[in-house]
Amino acid sequence: YSINPDEQIIGNTGALTEQKGYFVFLDTARLIVNAGVKAKFFIIGHGHLEKKLKNYAEAQQLQDRVIFTGFRPDVAALLPEFDLFLSTSVAEGLGTSVADAMACGIPVVATASGGTVELVIPDQTGLLSPVGNSSHLAQNVLRLLQNPALAQQLAGNARLHIQQFSKAETARQTLNVYRQTLGYQ
């Protein structure tokens, strides 16, 4: 992907749909570039908005900064290369892409949408911004890029926090709910 060693890698994974807020992702990228950050922005996924997003990236003069990879079966291999995960979702269930990034030890900046707020605890496991607020998202990204120690601390905390969302832990907690509901202790 022709990434220079001095460039930050900021990315997201997911379907290119309205709920993922990729236009805000691109607006945030523009603000980060305008702040003088050398970065490449990865959008891994495909969907019906791909052409519109590519056109928007070009209109924002980001065509040399944003890389649309399309669908990749090897996301797990690509994620650890990110310096930062930027989730700009408008709506989320749990936010499994955010969970994957946290499990890989990648610092996360995300919007406070849906289940993401269970994963990203502000200033503990990542940084949250209001949905649709590219300026706030850019400020949070810049904060982590300018403070690598904080970014690593949040990423480390997130790796521990995400363990409570494992299949085994979810099954254990679900069983406890059933036992309590049925009066079995």
Query: At residue 22, what are phi and psi to the nearest 5 degrees?
Result: -70, -20
> What token pair was written down for 18?
């309205």
| Amino acid 169: pLDDT | 73
Please state, as a whole number, how many other Cβ atoms lie within 10 Å of the Cβ of residue 90.
17
| Amino acid 164: pLDDT | 79
| Amino acid 42: pLDDT | 98
What SS3 state is found at 3? coil
Q: What size, in residues, is the chain?
A: 185
| Amino acid 79: pLDDT | 94
> What token pair was written down for 49?
């908005």
CA distance 177 to 183: 10
Asked whether the beta carbons of 8 and 83 are under 8 A apart, the reply is yes
| Amino acid 16: pLDDT | 97
> What token pair was written down for 117?
């707020």
Q: Which long-range contacts (CB under 8 A, 24 or more apart) does 76-83 make?
A: 76/100, 76/104, 78/11, 78/42, 78/44, 79/13, 79/104, 79/106, 80/104, 80/105, 80/106, 81/9, 82/9, 82/10, 82/11, 82/42, 82/106, 83/8, 83/9, 83/10, 83/107, 83/145
Q: Classify 64 in phi/psi space as left (phi over 0), alpha (psi -120 to 50) or beta.
A: alpha
Which positions of the chain have pLDDT values less than 70? 166, 185
159 CB burial (10 A radius; 0-12, 13-18, 19+): middle
| Amino acid 140: pLDDT | 98
